[in-house]
Amino acid sequence: MHSGKRFHILYWQPIVLFVLVNDELLFGAEENAMSLVDGIILLVMFIAFLVYVFQNMKRTGDLGGDIDEIEMYGSLKTTLMIIFGIAGLALGGQVIVDNAIIVAEHFQISQKVIGLTILAAGTSLPELATTAVAAFHKKSDLAVGNIVGSNIFNLLLVLGATATLNAPIAFDTDLNLDLYIVMIGTFMLFIFMFTLQKYKLDRAEGALYLVGFVAYCVFLYMNRL
């Protein structure tokens, strides 16, 4: 799959998050937490990312696709679809969280493990479906961009907005191990994209990611029940 150079932002996100949440380790604070300032920092970074993307689009003339292929809707229909879509997301998110807690309590599994595996996988299914369809239709930039963009939005916008509205959010240092895994994964992506077949992720590299994910899940359930 081809990938654009604009995806460099993905590589340093876990490092930024690590610095923001490890207040005790790095700044001698009494507790680790996402503060209001941390949330604002993430939101400012997100806005800066959007500005960069739109400026890059204007400079290169890349509109991201053929306008003629896009089905256009009227203003009323578009507005209603957005409203019902947001309402559905909110309702679905509440149902997922409530039932994830029930599953964790029933099987006596920590909520942390449920969040890192089942809940994370469930919320990632739309990205999986979209990326698979895009790859099948040879839309490699769309496939890779969907995954990279989703990660950027989740960390900078979702976590930033959540911390801004609900600060402080306590951080368990046990999650540092998972941040290290994320750092390793992004570093692997950097290696794959900028060595050998440049800007391409081949089948063997994708298989390596799958093996790593399975090994990570096994490790979680064996060591964090």
**This prediction's pTM:** 0.74
Distance CA 98, CA 117 (A): 15
Bridge partner residues of 34 (DSSP): 169
Pairwise CA distance, residues 87 & 96, whole Å: 14
Cβ neighbours for 63, distance < 8 A, ≥ 6 positions apart? 57
Closest Cα partner for 174 from 110, 120, 118, 107?
Answer: 110
Choose among 189, 181, 219: nearest CA to 206: 189
| Rounded CA separation 181/214 (Å) | 13
| Residue with more model confidence, 4 or 58 | 58
pLDDT band for position 1 (50/70/90)?
very low
- In one letter, which amino acid is 223? N
pLDDT at 71: 55
Span 31-39, mean pLDDT?
90
* Token pair recorded at residue 53: 């993307």
